A and B are shown apart, each in its own frame.
Chain A
Amino acid sequence: MSADSQNIVFDNVSKFYGDVLGVNRVTLTIPPGITSLVGPNGSGKTTLMNLMTGLLQPTRGTIGVLGVSPNHPEQLFRQLGYCTQFDSFPRGFTGYQFVYSFLRLYGCTHAEAEEFTWAAIERVKLVEAAHRKIAGYSKGMRQRIKLAQSTCHGPSVLVLDEPLNGLDPLVRAEVIALLRSLAEEGMHIIISSHVLHEVDMISDQVVLLSNGYVIAEGKIRGVRGELDEQPMQVMIRCGKPASLAAKVFEHDSVVEARMHSDGKGLLVKTRDPDKFYLLLNQLALNGIGLESVVPADDDVNSLYEYLIGGEEPAR
């Protein structure tokens, strides 16, 4: 099996809306797992998703979703489910009717549609509310029924535009758990989100977008490692931060050290993390009591700040 048939591949894809840039020269390979598209408003996240799902045609370049071109919708949507950012529900439908009717449109027979509808509704834990009108659902329930609708036909790729928007913390946790379980079953899940700490929590990899360009992609730590111009920040919790600061400053790799406000920690900025971690090992062996050593800026929030920063405040 070729790599292209297992991944979502963008090859030099550009999309212009007349004179307005949607995305430009995007070359990406998205492997299985949860991939988050991160970027400020207008950065091209939704355009990228619409291109992936064939709802928009690229101005230039080619796209392959597990080896299928979006120009072949019949094949594409056998393996792709799309959940838009809008609360898009045909009026008057119950949760059950919503999922069932779209399965019939997809091409399932009545019996299959019924079976898959209940399976999808059960997966999102909405069995009791299935026959209630969607208009009476809470925001979280709507988000879950949308998820059921987009996964009911058993797609291998799930594209979710802002799936965590407007959800309360409890429902967010439930939706995240659901997405994780789907990813663990082997789905490709593509998410766009503004909520950076949640992206950090659930994503296997990120794609950072700004003004229609991909500015970074890959595993979060891998991307962080490539930002040479930004010294890595490490938070060290220990009993004697002052003496630790004196010792780390003897080494060239450390560019800055700052005492934590509670006096029990030291925030160190280093240009050579590998060398610095070796140094910490030596210090620990020499009797400096270290309680914990945690990277302080290898998360999406920091990447956003470093790469996009200032365009729009991250939440």
Chain B
Amino acid sequence: MAVHKRSYRAYEGALTPRWSRFLILTRYAAKGVFQSRIITGLFVISFFYPLLMIAGLYLNHNTQVLSMLKLASDQILVINGTFFLVLMTVQAAFAFLMTAFIGPNMIAPDLANNALPLYFCRPLSRTEYVTGRACVIFFVLSFITWIPGLLIFAIEGTLSGPAWAWDHRNFAFGIFIGSVLWLLLLTLIALAISAWVRWKLIAGALLLAVMFASSGFATAVNEILRVKAGFYLDPANLIAAIWARFFDVPIHTEMSITGAYAGIAVICGFCVLLLSRKIRAFEVVK
């Protein structure tokens, strides 16, 4: 037995609050996201449509321009539920594309490098780890979905007056709640795929396949079984139904709004289950 000098002193100072530590993961991962030129390019492009709409709103309320063009105020843009539904659908499509590029980088590299024990020894719980990773996707996609959506709503509210904003408050709720649900779906599906598929390219392709295949599968179910319930299998349709309800736009899928929320909950639950099976400190080989 060695004779120990006991000169070693462990650190006993204060630590930052535990609840905030997962954000360190988010910060580092977000930095990594924008190192990719494709993602940065896509991020920039995704602002074009909202900027175009903002310009349209400005022109819509600019009497000088309207009189110069000899147009009535509603002839440039009709600001109604359809306007916001189209806006959010376009932005949701960009969010989906961005997820296909960001998602595969979230968990797969850590699993491939057996780096999970490093995080869990800090100590970070599995929930905190997943939350830290999920926040990256969620925050980045927020900038192209509900943030510009609410900004456009606020601009229109300012230009048309508080009465318009109050009368159409459902649109604001729709923009926020619909976007959050869509981002939650995308984030969880992307993380689940990233946890199970270690190859980035395949993981990205799989995300695209899941979304397109589910749409095709839903249609096939409807056609073969002559039902309408197949639409509940398609995440994009589920969100579309929720948005349609908030924006007061009729939809062809005849989905119940409760069913749409339940469908989203089931998909999210399944993704969480997949994540909990894979995000472990050690892979158990049986």
Contact = CB atoms under 8 A, between A and B. Distances in A.
Interface of A: 17-20, 31-34, 46, 50, 53-56, 73-74, 76-82, 84, 86-92, 101-102, 104-109, 112, 116, 149-150, 153-156, 180, 182-187, 204-205, 219
Given A19-B286, A184-B4, 6 more contacts: A78-B10, A88-B113, A150-B121, A154-B9, A186-B7, A204-B2
A105 B282 contact: no
A77 B281 CA distance: 15
B282 A50 contact: yes
Contacts of A46: 282
A55 B116 CA distance: 10
Pick the most buried of B114, B119, B121, B124: most chain A CB atoms within 10 A of its CB: B121
Interface string B6-37: 11111111011010010011001000100100
User: DSSP majority for the A interface?
Assistant: loop
B120 interface: yes
A77 B5 contact: no
B53 interface: no
Contacts of B120: 55, 73
A56 B280 CA distance: 9
Given A107-B21, A149-B118, A74 B28 contact: no
A153 B122 CA distance: 10
Nearest to B285: A17
A185 B11 CA distance: 14
A17 B283 CA distance: 11
Given A20-B286, A101-B28, A84 B11 contact: no
A76 to B, nearest CB: 7
Given A82-B117, A84-B114, A101-B24, A106 B122 contact: yes
Contacts of B125: 73
B117 A105 contact: no
B123 interface: yes
A154 to B, nearest CB: 4
A29 to B, nearest CB: 14
Contact of B123 (A17, A73, A101): A73
A102 B18 contact: no
B202 interface: no
Contacts of B110: 90
Query: Top 9 nearest A-B pairs by Cβ distance?
Result: A107-B15, A185-B8, A73-B123, A55-B281, A154-B11, A86-B114, A186-B6, A88-B115, A105-B122
Pick the most buried of A19, A102, A180: most chain B CB atoms within 10 A of its CB: A102
A289 B100 CA distance: 81
Contact of B11 (A74, A76, A153): A153
Contacts of A86: 113-115, 117
Given A116-B11, A156-B8, A91 B18 contact: no
Nearest to B120: A55
Contacts of B286: 17-20
Nearest to B284: A17
27 contacts: A33-B4, A34-B2, A50-B282, A54-B123, A55-B117, A73-B125, A74-B18, A86-B113, A86-B115, A88-B113, A88-B118, A90-B113, A92-B32, A102-B122, A105-B25, A107-B18, A109-B16, A116-B11, A154-B9, A183-B2, A184-B4, A185-B7, A186-B4, A186-B5, A186-B6, A204-B1, A204-B2
B284 A33 contact: no
B109 interface: yes
B10 A79 contact: yes
B16 A102 contact: no
Contacts of A101: 24, 28
A183 B10 contact: no
A90 B109 contact: yes
Contacts of A150: 121
Contacts of A153: 11
A119 to B, nearest CB: 10
Contacts of A79: 10
Contacts of B16: 104, 107-109
A46 B284 CA distance: 12
Interface in B259-286: 281-282, 284-286
B117 A32 contact: no
A154 B10 contact: yes
B5 A184 contact: yes
Contacts of A53: 117, 121
Contact of B24 (A31, A89, A104): A104
A76 B118 contact: no
